[in-house]
Each structure stands twice: as structure tokens, then as C-alpha cells.
Amino acid sequence: MHIAPVTLATVEPVPARRPLISYVLPVYNEQDGITAFHTELTAALASRPELDFELVYVNDGSADGSLALLKEFAEQDPRVRVVDFARNFGHQIAITAGLDIASGDAVIVMDTDLQDPPKVSLELVDAWREGAEIVHARRRSRQDTPFKKATAHLYYRLLRSSTEVDIPLDTGDFRLLDRKVADELRKYRERSRFVRGIVASMGYTQTEVAFDRDERFAGETKYPLRKMARLAVDGMTSFSTAPLKMITRLGFVVLALSLLGILYALGMKFFRPEITVSGWTMLMCVVLFLGGTQMLSLGVIGTYIGRIYSEAQGRPLYLVREVIGGDDDR
């Protein structure tokens, strides 16, 4: 029997509209560098006429002239939208607000201090067009202080070993998310958030693009040690109850130690009565040791309870004064 070869008519696809790429750009007191950043970013975007772009600047309660500059960008360029926060809510929340409003087919989150080079963001777009749904920009090298490098190095490895999510090493918040990932991410409304961890835990097709992280173009880091430590704690407590389990282990160790002490004291009493175990020093050591471990444990438990408390309050994540630019019907 002869079977005629079937030829599938190739259907011409309907000419698709150009993909829209959104940038989410958190700004906190960046007046000295933001213009250079904006110029470099728009120059990079001009090299890709086949794409449409939208720039969502989130002014995170800057106390300097950043907002006035952002408003100027919005006046000059219809692609720019500015979300002005009522006060400083922090980097992670600023990113969240940007993601809430960005409407692109892909969304890129990046810093506005030129540490994340605008050109690299286009490499993220290329990886996305090849099929990746999440593209992490991985720091091949970075120009930070030795202290920051060392603590970041240690922290990422610790986090990876104590959590179940596979957080990629040496990545910050510079990454691209496909529309469907961004939509899903918007459903995560936790307050003390560690966006990079949430994204890593989501699955999807993830890839990396390596880049060399530059020095800050102007100004100081907006992550002093205090904020860095808070982010580190948020990252750990968002994904792991390992610190709570550590308390149990610590309890066992202390118990074992005190058992040894008791056995020693009893043994001396019965078999070597001539040696008296000195009371005061021993007591002081035990009391201080136990007091210390208990306070530490309470602190760890308190951190988790604090998270429960602030989640239970259910307050809005951020307050917006106004949104400037863009079409208002979105």
C-alpha cells in the first residue's frame, strides 16, 4: 500500500508584537550617580531596536535630589515610570513594588549604581530569548571591600548548606524573570523578604550569565553592616528552621556536659573524698554558661516569633505617594 507523504503546511505565524522588557530599578539616595546610570542604560537599550523597553524606577524614600532627577527622566522619555515611596522601605521591598507594576514579557531587576552593568542586562535578555525563564547574573569578580567579599562568600555557602533551596552562589538581585515567573513571584507577599532566595526556590528553567561586578559609580553603599545583617537573617529564617534545630542540638550538648560534671563530682565524693570539687568557681561557670546558651536560644526563637508577629499584622508592604509617567490606564 502506498502512503502519500504528508506535508505539513507551514503556517506563517502572526507577526508577533515586539517583546517588551521591563527594568525594575530601586533608587535610594543615588543623586550623584543616577544620571550616569540612566544615560548608560538608555545607550545600551538603543543598541536593541528590535525590543521595546519600560523603565520602572522605584524611589525608595530618597532624602537627596534623586526624585527630581527621576522625574526629569520621566518627562524626557515616555518609557520611564517612577514609583515614589512614602518613605524608605528597603531594597527588597522596592524591588517588590517594581515587580508589581512592571508589565513586560520579561522583567530585569538591577541596581542603579552601575555595579550591575547595563550591557550585561542585554545578555540576560539573550539567554531569555533562548528559552530560559530565570536568568541569574553571577558575579565572576567584584570590586567590594575584602570584608564584604569575605562575609558574602561565607554567607552564601552557609545558606546553601543549611537550606533546601539551591540558591545560586555569588548572585545578588541582578536577574531576569520571565513574565510568568514575575506573576507567580507577585503572589509571595511575605514581609521580611529575601527575593533572590524566593526566586531560586521557584524552579522553572534557570540559567546564569557571568559578569564582572564594577565598583560603585558614586556615593556609598546603601547596605551598611546593620542592613546586611538583617538581610542575612531574613535569608536564613525565610528558608530554614536550621537555627531552631541547632538549639535542640545545643541543648543536648549542654546536657551531656552537665552529666559529665555530675558524674565527676559524684565519683570524687565517693571514691576520692580527699579531693573536694571547689563549689563557687564551678557554680559560676555553669550558671553563666547555661544563662548564655538560654539567652542565645531565646534570641533565635524570638527572631522567628518576630517574623510571625509582623506577618500576622498583615500591614501593606509599602506605601506609594505617586506613580509618575507611563500610560495611566495600566
Q: Applying CB under 6 A, which residues contact ligand UDP? A: 26-28, 30, 60, 88, 90-91, 94, 111-113, 115, 221-223
Residue 208, beta-bridge partner list = 136
Cβ count near 242 (within 10 Å): 15
Minimum distance from residue 53 beta carbon to ligand UDP (Å): 18
Output 33 or 243, the one with its CB closest to ligand UDP.
33
Whether the CB-CB separation of 249 and 175 falls below 8 Å is answered with: no
Total of chain residues touching Mg ion, rule CB under 5 A: 3
- The mark string for 200-229 relative to Mg ion (x by CB under 5 A, - otherwise) is ------------------------------
Whether the CB-CB separation of 113 and 37 falls below 8 Å is answered with: yes
- The mark string for 115-134 relative to Mg ion (x by CB under 5 A, - otherwise) is x-------------------
Q: Is 274 helix (H, G, I), strand (E, B) or coil?
A: coil
Cβ count near 330 (within 10 Å): 9
- In the bound state, the residue with its beta carbon closest to Mg ion is 115
83 binds, among ligand UDP, Mg ion, none (CB under 5 to 8 A by kind): none
60 binds, among ligand UDP, Mg ion, none (CB under 5 to 8 A by kind): ligand UDP
Output 25 or 181, the one with its CB closest to ligand UDP.
25
* Pick from 226, 192, 193: nearest CA to 310: 192
Output 74 or 94, the one with its CB closest to ligand UDP.
94
* Pick from 96, 174, 179: nearest CA to 135: 174
Q: Indicate which single residue of 111, 173, 178, 208 sits in contact with Mg ion (rule: CB under 5 A).
A: 111
Whether the CB-CB separation of 178 and 196 falls below 8 Å is answered with: no
- Say what the alpha-carbon torsion angle 169, 174, 180, 185 is, to the nearest 10 degrees: 80
Under rule CB under 5 A, residue 163 binds Mg ion: no
Minimum distance from residue 111 beta carbon to ligand UDP (Å): 4
Minimum distance from residue 129 beta carbon to Mg ion (Å): 27
Phi, psi of 246 (to 5 degrees): -60, -35
Locate all alpha helices (DSSP H) within 114-187, ordered by sequence: 118-129, 146-162, 179-185
Minimum distance from residue 257 beta carbon to ligand UDP (Å): 41
Please identify, among the stretches 62-70, 85-93, 112-120, 145-153, the one whose residues bind Mg ion according to the rule CB under 5 A.
112-120
Minimum distance from residue 114 beta carbon to ligand UDP (Å): 9
Under rule CB under 5 A, residue 112 binds Mg ion: no
Residue 52, beta-bridge partner list = 20
Please identify, among the stretches 88-96, 103-111, 168-176, 276-284, the one whose residues bind Mg ion according to the rule CB under 5 A.
103-111
Minimum distance from residue 236 beta carbon to ligand UDP (Å): 17
d(CA 73, CA 35): 9
Phi, psi of 205 (to 5 degrees): -85, 115
Under rule CB under 5 A, residue 92 binds Mg ion: no
Rounded to whole angstroms, what are the CA distances from 326 to 42, 105, 193, 285?
Answer: 16, 16, 28, 66
Question: What does the binding site for Mg ion look like in residue numbers (CB under 5 A)?
Answer: 111, 113, 115
